[in-house]
Structure 1
């Protein structure tokens, strides 16, 4: 039986129901069930009203055809076998065998394997291309050394991108139960995905290329809001900086040694017996004065806040939680108790509105003394002394007034905690951008928090692993991500630290972090050579902050990753499809880190076009492999022809000085185009139009360069007043025009 709805169709056959919703011309939602139930969206889907496009429905004896401007979706009315075709009728993706299989304990969907490559899947170890591999998604506090055989890590993104020579698409399985993906590991004929519980509810996301698939996927799951600019600066952490005198010593040393740094983190030892929202009375007895001193030096402070609340009736957070019934229950309805850092602890049920409001109030009160951001750790949620490393799967949560098991809540627990934290920060500082860092996550986390990749090791293998992992996280909708520089566990060597900091300054999130009992990991801890090189590259990052901030603006509008695999920009070049040890910072900079010891050169592939060495200006023909020199104080960085890069003077910290002048570097090419964004970097006023948007273009012909600098939007009066143009790698320039006028000095004053 076929039923037409406002959003799509409903087909019923032999006790099963298929619901198809047209979200856009290129996004279709498929929900298949054998129960009398409604589709349940997870927190991953951003709640908004879709502008449903026009679509047509055609019915024959055996099939139903749903047609949008870009897709033809063919459904067998009896078997629910689905074929997705492009507007020309060519198959993009189709079911295999029995298609959707529904069972009591799991749901799964088989697809014919037509793809050459698979990308995405969020935080997974291994290489960039995931074809031929299998995974599960179940947030896990995995402390053992991560490698390609590590199947479970801290975050779950049940989303992937499939690509072959003709088509590119994405599939997002909107199911928060433990999910699984077999991408051709079992068979060369098919792949499948599913979950151990929940619904078969997935979104088919078509795009002309990977860029459009990511843009369409983040239309569903939301995009990052602009972060505070200081969060893009250098950040220093350790488990743990204690007592408060040590914190101040580290801060002062950064300033004395002229190494830029914006943030210092406080790990669990700042607390009283690991009780969240408290301060240790002995080691941080004058914490308010410490926070003031740090602020006077230009430092922001981010404190760790775990979900586990110590079981102690004298402790106000526990007492309030018990008295108001805020904690997760076991299957018998008794408050669940598990062991974490404070010993026996209870866990807030963040899925409940009232619990998030309560936690948000705790956050608001806690940060009032001068804390600038919150670091959510142990939020898988991790539980000690259990074989599963988490709470029992039959524990009970309340979501929208209904009881659900921890099997369903587990993977989204961190997102709800991040939401509570964000709401708390906004409650206290209504017009200030919140900063939250999370270890665990589910799809859609980009709306609430930045992420880091958890407890890595001081190994060259983990420096390498950082690249494909962060690139796939970016392709999965989260542009604000990084790894612990130098490795968290183990003693980092001088050379490894140098090579890691050289690479990490070009990643979205830059933080050095190390574990208790390991060697110090501040830039000066490895001797003068490492200190000088770290200073040099951290200053390069601060010079590039306008360019990096522009990439975050682009991410907020289109969902594009800040750190990108080469295939994202050069999909037509098959040589880029499997490259995992180089990456793009935006569309203009190509980074090729050295990730092996005792190496002073490495092979680099440059895609088609002309490329210039960022440091020497040497010219390279693209479409070729090169053996590039990379002595210890250098990392291979290349700029593509026609690139425009906006820079500023390096500061000790973001708010040290007002930026009156910016430099616009124009790299030789026939033409180039760039959009530069500017606002105060702190408040939410940009949402009210208080920002500047400039479009910069140039054309170069026969020794003459014509530059256009257009104000697309001008609502922020305190931006840079002067833009100075620097022409890079041009052999001969006879004449320069800016906005149609010939100039001797290559600059423009903004009024």
Structure 2
């Protein structure tokens, strides 16, 4: 059997669960024990029970943290030793028990587990019994979880003591929150916990498992990775996790980006359940660790259940319980890891186009950006750079003297990347294609070895399958005309299932571009090391970062299934570290997402080891992979289009993947593909209104890149902001009356790029802290406003379209066109618990505006965000700050830098830092901001106070003692991290109400000091205290005291009665004094 009828094919979730309705599974517990596997490296940390059922299958339930447990169930396992200690590639550390040990040592807690027979059920309990002083803010004695394993019918119930959320107006005499803790169910399965179907023809491969989880009535759900972007809080739906080259998000269901069912480029099967216990502090998360297809029935067929389905491998799910969303993210990233520190320029403005085909094209783009005064840090050159689409090469005709080109661009402040796909062209060249030659000589490619059970075994009968336009169809690989438009005349039968022959695939980039080729076997460690070395030429030539594309790998439909490898191709798998050297072989569909994961991993470690990259941070932008790949790469959300629907999902998509720990994520601003116009033809450029909204609304999202398919591919004419007024100038007649709009694209986009650059330190501080706490740069309001329960009812819709960058800056993008909302208004929700100021920040020091009256949290305001239409540039400029609603929390402390042409530019001198300090709550001390100062590019800046660093440090010491010649760069952390940064805390405390002119005290304290930022920031910094309009600034007395009086720095004071600010300029590099206190008193 092959083609459409092959049971191994991808299957839509609704079809999968329709069939699964009739499956059965274990019904009762027969026995239970706590015997660990023989592979356990730390048996005392193997905190698990083995559960044997009436059908002789076995499950393992294991505590990883006191409130984090794992469930494994494989219907083919008949021996507990088959559940080994090895971790998957997603989970940090090679073994689970070793990870538990390392986490215990790092977190400073002692905890135990206990198993007790309670009659109708077994109680498996974790309890924290001792907490070191440094961890008392995270854990407390008595924390833990109770897992009830019911005997007949078998089901699982997790119970935890929950603390009530604090009331705004508490009941007198009700007692403390701790005294009112109550035991509540936080997660449970149905009485039919597991349903299974092992295919009789493929019993070791196709092992379907459905896990039925109870869905509490009041609960809401967030997360889900890329697929979480359609609605931040998920509505009932089916979902398919299966990495797929899904152009414009419409191939399987043909409904476009608003359909949550579409399988996308990246799979992150992680979600959180919030509000399942209303008015109590609890969030429960689930992470499903499976590289193959995952299906979800999210309350679609039964509103009381979440049905979780796996088709291959085992059901392997982690359940996390925490008091709030940030704590849940911290726990998850504790096991899945956190990103390495990225270069600061990553946060700048980037430009890309499939169609910059020559050196002159790239030079023109850089020149026009600089002439327009729009800051630019990155230029992404597509496969146009390559010689005949040979990966790792450059075209000497169109990009002659490539190293000189890179040097010239770098001298202009522009860092370049290029598109690297995992295909190695089968076509050699006259001067030799060393990557191809080495790949073949060493046998490093994926071999053409097939799993033929259930088929005729004849190549002429092979049919591949794919979805397109909502249709499921077959492709005959023997059909030469069915192959890509670049032409490939190979003989499929001669290459099919031939021993020691490389799998012959290929990639089409469209427009006759692409190549047939081999694929390196990146699931082998030796091949990954070889792959990393292939970047030597590009990096030595001056390429600065990598754009990792076509990562599934994405393969033309005539070469494989679902635009990937043939599902029956046997490939290497190191999904778990094995005790043997050679990785095992599995079907490609069994570890579908592992290849792309190892692609990013191989590139990241390879760049780290290159001599030309010594000491430098590296960055990879990846199109898609699997959970945990964010440790190696940022994420962009694939091939979108210039439509309002794609812009609508962008914010929610970035916020959703951020819950998984992804620090750098974003979409192609303006859209990659053209939109289809009302006449049914492709539009030749992104709508100017849409581009304005995309740039302004993305102003503080982590990844900021304009990318499109260009004129040289006969698609869009342009998409760079500076090109719009040029287009209007040459088309004035047909665009009569629209000069304000086309000229406005350049001017408004420039304004928001400049505003972003002025706030780049806010973005960088959040990126730095991501390594320490796992929190993303751009955050859902559920991360920053953990006590605002209105998000579970009347304020829920605002979670889709508002975000908070760092902790205190709220952005509410405009997501609909003017013809849909003629007044260009939108409602903005300001979260409860704080007052909010409309942003008065401007890109330049001589600008800024007086504060307006603060708005009480909980308010919904109607905001007019019209695009200015005047012919007067000065009048228009005054309106630019209001094109997107932005608000700042009371008490916020917001650093700003001067706008420069690129991040880190000190050609005109150091870039002095300024802290805007906003009026805060009276008699409150929570307003503290930490900034992290370094050179922005060196690896030694990375912090060392992380779990992976500390645990690996011990292993390195052992290696040094026992194997002095061991290459330490192969370790799973950065040995160059030396915490060479300066952390400075800026804290504000207030006395009586500020409206009455109270005392404000600003403390600037150095918390960590292994770097002197004088080169970047100079020998002074500024504190700018803003006052509300109700305060009449009179005479104020400002004093500055230092911890070391003899070295108290000089300072200057400026009082601006128009802006209502008091500005203190301190004449030393920030953080030079260990602690200084500035007191501002009314006289």
Q: Which category of TM-score, normalised to the shorter sequence, fits these structures?
A: over 0.9
Residue 280 of structure 1 corresponds to 395
Partner of residue 747 from structure 1, selected from 1061, 1065, 1077: 1065
SS in 1 for 2:783: helix
Q: CA deviation at 1:80?
A: 4.8
Residue 1026 of structure 2 corresponds to 728
Given the alignment of the two structures, is residue 64 of structure 1 paired with residue 122 of structure 2, yes or no? Answer: yes
> 1:689-728: per-residue Cα shift (whole Å, max 9, x none)?
2111111111122321001111111110134332211112
Given the alignment of the two structures, is residue 716 of structure 1 paired with residue 1003 of structure 2, yes or no? Answer: no
Change in CA separation of 1:224 and 1:738 when aligned onto 2, cut-off 3 Å: farther
Given the alignment of the two structures, is residue 697 of structure 1 paired with residue 987 of structure 2, yes or no? Answer: yes
In 2: Cα distance, 1:303 partner to 1:738 partner:
51
Residue 128 of structure 1 corresponds to 232
SS in 2 for 1:66: strand
Within-5 A mapping of 1:55-454: 55-60=112-117, 61-68=119-126, 69-77=143-151, 80-87=154-161, 88-104=182-198, 105=206, 106-114=208-216, 116-124=219-227, 125-145=229-249, 146-149=256-259, 151-164=262-275, 165=278, 166=280, 167-314=282-429, 315-330=433-448, 331=450, 332=497, 334-341=501-508, 342-386=514-558, 388-400=562-574, 401-428=583-610, 429-454=613-638
SS in 1 for 2:762: helix
Change in CA separation of 1:45 and 1:732 when aligned onto 2, cut-off 3 Å: farther
Given the alignment of the two structures, is residue 501 of structure 1 paired with residue 695 of structure 2, yes or no? Answer: yes
Q: CA deviation at 1:650?
A: 0.9
8 A Cα contact 1:339 1:385, kept in partner = no
Given the alignment of the two structures, is residue 588 of structure 1 paired with residue 886 of structure 2, yes or no? Answer: no
Residue 129 of structure 2 corresponds to none
SS in 2 for 1:155: coil
Q: CA deviation at 1:62?
A: 4.1
8 A Cα contact 2:154 2:191, kept in partner = no
8 A Cα contact 1:612 1:641, kept in partner = yes
Within-5 A mapping of 1:477-556: 477-490=661-674, 491-516=685-710, 517-527=715-725, 528-556=743-771
8 A Cα contact 1:411 1:441, kept in partner = yes
In 2: Cα distance, 1:739 partner to 1:378 partner:
58
Partner of residue 38 from structure 1, selected from 59, 83, 91: 83
Q: CA deviation at 1:202?
A: 1.0
SS in 2 for 1:238: strand
Structure 1: tracts of 5 or more residues without a match: none
SS in 2 for 1:97: strand
Given the alignment of the two structures, is residue 557 of structure 1 paired with residue 741 of structure 2, yes or no? Answer: no
Given the alignment of the two structures, is residue 49 of structure 1 paired with residue 99 of structure 2, yes or no? Answer: yes
> 1:598-622: per-residue Cα shift (whole Å, max 9, x none)?
2532111111221111135322122
SS in 1 for 2:708: coil
8 A Cα contact 1:492 1:519, kept in partner = no
Q: CA deviation at 1:71?
A: 0.8
Partner of residue 16 from structure 1, selected from 39, 57, 63: 57
Q: CA deviation at 1:97?
A: 2.8
8 A Cα contact 1:41 1:174, kept in partner = no
Partner of residue 787 from structure 2, selected from 547, 551, 572: 572
Q: Which moved more, 1:388-397 or 1:295-304?
A: 388-397
In 2: Cα distance, 1:240 partner to 1:739 partner:
59
Given the alignment of the two structures, is residue 3 of structure 1 paired with residue 170 of structure 2, yes or no? Answer: no
Q: CA deviation at 1:743?
A: 7.5
Q: CA deviation at 1:77?
A: 4.6
Change in CA separation of 1:463 and 1:450 when aligned onto 2, cut-off 3 Å: same
8 A Cα contact 1:11 1:77, kept in partner = no
8 A Cα contact 2:933 2:1013, kept in partner = no
Q: CA deviation at 1:443?
A: 0.2
TM-score in terms of structure 2 length: 0.67
In 2: Cα distance, 1:54 partner to 1:17 partner:
26
> 1:304-338: per-residue Cα shift (whole Å, max 9, x none)?
10011111255332222122121223313542212
Q: Report the number of matched residues.
A: 751
8 A Cα contact 2:379 2:417, kept in partner = yes
The structure that is strand-richer by fraction is 1
Within-5 A mapping of 1:613-628: 613-615=838-840, 617-618=851-852, 619-628=854-863
CA RMSD of aligned residues (A): 2.0
Change in CA separation of 1:744 and 1:272 when aligned onto 2, cut-off 3 Å: closer
In 2: Cα distance, 1:16 partner to 1:237 partner:
53
Change in CA separation of 1:395 and 1:736 when aligned onto 2, cut-off 3 Å: farther
SS in 1 for 2:99: coil
Given the alignment of the two structures, is residue 679 of structure 1 paired with residue 934 of structure 2, yes or no? Answer: yes
> 1:517-555: per-residue Cα shift (whole Å, max 9, x none)?
212111201123211111111111111111111101121
Change in CA separation of 1:660 and 1:494 when aligned onto 2, cut-off 3 Å: closer
8 A Cα contact 1:364 1:424, kept in partner = no
Partner of residue 67 from structure 2, selected from 20, 26, 48: 26
8 A Cα contact 1:705 1:736, kept in partner = no
In 2: Cα distance, 1:393 partner to 1:739 partner:
70
TM-score in terms of structure 1 length: 0.96
> 1:725-748: per-residue Cα shift (whole Å, max 9, x none)?
111234256444555799762133
8 A Cα contact 1:238 1:513, kept in partner = yes
Q: For the pair shown, which has the larger CA radius of gyration, 1 or 2? A: 2
SS in 1 for 2:111: coil
Q: Which moved more, 1:735-744 or 1:58-67?
A: 735-744
Q: Which moved more, 1:567-576 or 1:199-208?
A: 567-576
8 A Cα contact 1:485 1:513, kept in partner = yes
Q: CA deviation at 1:259?
A: 0.9
SS in 2 for 1:107: strand
In 1: Cα distance, 2:114 partner to 2:533 partner:
50
Structure 2: tracts of 5 or more residues without a match: 1-30, 37-43, 105-109, 127-142, 162-181, 199-205, 250-255, 451-496, 509-513, 575-582, 675-684, 726-742, 841-848, 868-879, 942-976, 993-997, 1043-1047, 1054-1063, 1073-1083
Given the alignment of the two structures, is residue 604 of structure 1 paired with residue 828 of structure 2, yes or no? Answer: yes
Q: Which moved more, 1:622-631 or 1:655-664?
A: 655-664
Residue 639 of structure 2 corresponds to 455
8 A Cα contact 1:214 1:476, kept in partner = yes
